[in-house]
Structure 1
């Protein structure tokens, strides 16, 4: 079981994009966004839509996705982190086996610069991120239009 890394240079197929979108939608739990939003973040990471790109990390075993992370690059630094971890999910039956931890370690190793994540305060994954060195720093306030 290895982690597959996708970016602007190692393209995702349409089939992979749809598989990862469906996986993240299914296993993101009550905090999930729409399939359209998830797919857009993957397309941005793969530079299939305009932007700076990013990374998609997928843990698979025998063509079955066990966990996935989507990171988008911001193009900023010092005042906003260079990377934002947009989505992370681990298959429910695989939780507690270290897959999320392994994906985060891979993300930290692969991405240059700071990494931010927006996470709901009720999400139990907060402990996983704290164990990997993430610290609560700001709250997000959003004007939704």
Structure 2
């Protein structure tokens, strides 16, 4: 089992980015993101589109994806967290072992500064308790005007 890190310096091939987007789309739970949104978050992380970048962490075993974390940098550390954990998805066949813990530990160790994650409702996001056990706390209510 190995965790690979991708960013602006260790780019993803188009084929690998598509493979990661398909994995995230197929194994996500709760409120489902579109493949377009997933690809955009990956592209932002690797600076394939303009922005501050971030990271994609891929845990694999013999070329099988076990879990993926996508982090976007915000550049706003003085008033919101510097890092936004956009996607944190574990393969549905590997959720009852320590893969989730290892991937999160690696992600948090690699990211400098605070890390935020959005949880879209208790019934929609079963990992809320997992994140709370790791020290994440609800600090505010976000309200959006979608246009």
TM-score with structure 2 setting the length: 0.96
Aligned pairs (5 A) from 1:94-133: 94-122=94-122, 123-133=125-135
> Which ranges in structure 2 are unaligned for 5 or more consecutive residues?
none
What CA distance in whole angstroms lies between the structure 1 residues aligned with 2:137 and 2:99?
21
1:139, CA displacement in angstroms? 1.5
What CA distance in whole angstroms lies between the structure 2 residues aligned with 1:32 and 1:98?
24
Aligned residue number for residue 42 of structure 2: 42
The alignment of Structure 1 onto Structure 2 pairs a total of residues equal to: 145
Cα RMSD, aligned residues only:
0.8
Aligned pairs (5 A) from 1:50-129: 50-122=50-122, 123-129=125-131
Structure 1 stretches of 4+ with a deviation exceeding 4 A read none
CA contact (8 A) 1:105 1:132 kept: no
1:31, CA displacement in angstroms? 1.9
